[in-house]
């Protein structure tokens, strides 16, 4: 199997980026990016540990849950979860992060790269609370690179077209999958734990 090993080989294979791709990156959050973030209910947060091992974590809430404080600062509130805090452990040793924002039905996405720190200021957590409950913590992101990503992947995947979604018949539920993967767990009991967590500990 042939392997690309140098950036020159990579550039030779793919050629130069287009003019739009070369010039679209900003060092701040402009009005268009702000508007997109205000409509986004879902993002993927990318981090890496001290050795460079990556992690990607989904985050979601009602549209606009990520606050744009200024043209360089985003505030991402954290809610109840499984307490693995993989992303936050990574940020402690490697503050570089990447965010991919999506707006359902929209063909392009928004990417923000920067550095982050985890803060627990009570007033800030209260301001970014939901359903009367403060955020557990807030990830403060300093944006260093901001740009829109073309929609080819979303168009090719037809992710926003329900009539094109794959048949989910036979696809294991989370409870069934975890019961098999962990071992020693009953499927029904695991399903009940997950259902209770969603019903009572979403916020």
- Could you tell me where the beta strands, DSSP code E, fall in 61-200? 67-70, 73-78, 96-102, 109-119, 137-149
- Give residue limits of the domains in the chain: 17-151, 166-200
Across the range 121-130, mean pLDDT stands at 97
Distance CA 27, CA 98 (A): 14
pLDDT score of 20: 86
Q: What is the pLDDT of residue 19?
A: 87
pLDDT for 37 equals 98
Q: Are 143 and 112 in contact (CB under 8 A)?
A: yes
17-151: which CATH number, 2.40.50.140, 2.30.110.10, 3.30.230.10, 2.60.40.10? 2.30.110.10
Tell me the per-residue pLDDT of 5-42, one tens digit each, with 9 for 90 and over.
Answer: 999 999 999 999 888 888 899 999 999 999 999 999 99
């Amino acid at each position: 199997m042939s392997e690309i090993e140098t950036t020159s080989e990579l550039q030779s294979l793919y050629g130069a980026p287009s003019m739009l791709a070369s010039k679209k990156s900003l060092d701040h959050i402009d009005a268009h990016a702000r508007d997109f973030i205000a409509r986004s209910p879902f993002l993927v947060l990318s981090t890496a540990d001290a050795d460079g091992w990556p992690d990607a974590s989904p985050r979601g809430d009602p549209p606009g849950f990520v606050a744009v404080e200024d043209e360089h600062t985003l505030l991402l509130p954290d809610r109840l979860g499984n307490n693995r805090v993989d992303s936050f452990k990574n940020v402690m040793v490697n503050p570089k992060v990447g965010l991919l924002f999506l707006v359902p039905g929209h063909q392009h996405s928004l990417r923000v790269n920067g550095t982050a720190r985890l803060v627990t200021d009570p007033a800030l957590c209260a301001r970014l609370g939901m359903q009367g409950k403060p955020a557990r913590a807030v990830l403060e992101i300093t944006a260093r690179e901001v740009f829109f990503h073309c929609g080819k992947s979303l168009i090719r995947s037809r992710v926003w077209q329900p009539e094109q979604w794959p048949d989910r018949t036979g696809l294991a539920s989370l409870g069934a999958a975890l019961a098999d993967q962990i071992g020693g767990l009953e499927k029904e009991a695991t399903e009940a734990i997950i259902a209770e967590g969603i019903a009572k500990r979403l916020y």
